A and B are shown apart, each in its own frame.
Chain A
Amino acid sequence: MNMLEIDDLHVTVDGKEILKGITLSIPAGEVHAIMGPNGSGKSTLSYTLAGRDGYEVTGGHMYYNGEDLGALLPEQRAAKGVFLALQYPVEIPGVATLTFLKTALNAQRRARGETELDALRTLKLVRQKATALNINEDMLRRPLNAGFSGGEKKRLEILQMALFEPKLAILDETDSGLDIDALKLVAEGVNALRAPSRAMLVITHYQRLLSYIVPDRVHVLAKGRIVKSGGADLALELEESGYERVVEVA
């Protein structure tokens, strides 16, 4: 059984159809990349998988481990192991980062019927995962994402991924706004989480990220449809010839 099975998915936002029949399967252990030009529906796909309000599924299905994702609330999807790293992580002044991490971690544990972690154990766990991502105590004490640099925000997304240990991770343009050093650090963090039991969907505009996170499959999304699929080489091909050509040929 595939970890994620998307079948002829149609999605409408504000009355406009953005996804027009997407079919895609990702088995556990694989990393798939979705590439596409601006406006192709990449972010719509990620928000729909995570369950954001306003992204209406008007046709088709999304199955996660055989379960209909569309029937679950965003928080239920998270507790079951679906994680979305956002392109633009939200700033929330007034909520300390560590408090947020503890609240989210325990909410997921509670939903799964696991015991909650106390403050000390949470802190230990967070510290242990944070070091590898070069996230210090000071950052954890600051309000969530408030005043964080682009790189800090993305590292914090990856820290959450490491902390929550999802089964399906969706990374939405995690490379945007990162310089090469930050990109490498984030990619290392992601690669460390590759595992036979975990599937990943990496959404990106540029090939650059895929030099560091090498995918098993690459899919090209254009105008709400997957127009081409291939191996890791397809990303390089796109980089050389550009989206326009690939989309035309398809």
Chain B
Amino acid sequence: MSRQWSEHLLLWTLRGLAMVAGCIILLIGAFLAVESVPALREVGLGRFFSDTSWHPSGGVEAGSFNFAPMAAGTLAVTSGAVLLATPLGIGSALFCHFYAPRGLGVAFRRLVELLAGIPSVVYGIWGLVVLIPLIRQWQPPGQSLLAGILVLTIMILPTVALLTESSLRAVPRSYLQGAAALGLSRWATVWGVVLPAARSGIVTAVLLATGRAIGETMAVLMVMGNIVQVPTSVFDPVRALTANIALEMGYAMDAHRSALFVSGLMLLAMVVVLVAMSVWASERSRYA
């Protein structure tokens, strides 16, 4: 084998592998789209939001296909968790970097990394066995939007904390030295210098955590009670879009199955938008 030939072979093999890796996401999008077509064509996008209820097993004519309560469930649990996890995550990152004694900060970071590695099904069983009975004592039935928000908060907190922490670390040392030379207090340095400098990193962290919250399935499925309704209080049981797929894929047929793929496509679209926004945020900071 001549040398030039072997180098060509190598280059094209690598290009081929990279191409395949890059095309997986297109394949996923394509398959979700193809499986969604029957529902989109026969049921139509409008009915997913205007039908009276979610009873999809009746077929195209007799069934009803209203996603809105589940979309509301996903929206409610995601926004609740993100609202709680953002301050907690940023606080954790600040603790690591500015407020903890040196050794403790490193140990705390490890601890948050451990929290990030716990499988969602383990959070789910903890919520089911520990958290739900506690909420039930306070406000029955216990399986509720609140349980989902709390479990999801603990789950996405490490994402916010770890990504914020790494963007805090990327703040140039000279900024801190400048702040120290001006005699700024610790809080004035953090609020006036560090957080503005790390802003785009923090935005990226929150966006990625939001994506994680939207897509989370198992924990949400196990603690929220899975009743299809628009929640009126945090103690109401609700069903998220992801939980709906997990619950019904096992027996869904025809239009029903296709409708589930439509909801999968919706989830995928939301995540693509969030990832695009986070890429945009981090690129803007690089060229700023």
Pairing of A with B: no
A residues contacting B by CB (< 8 A) are none
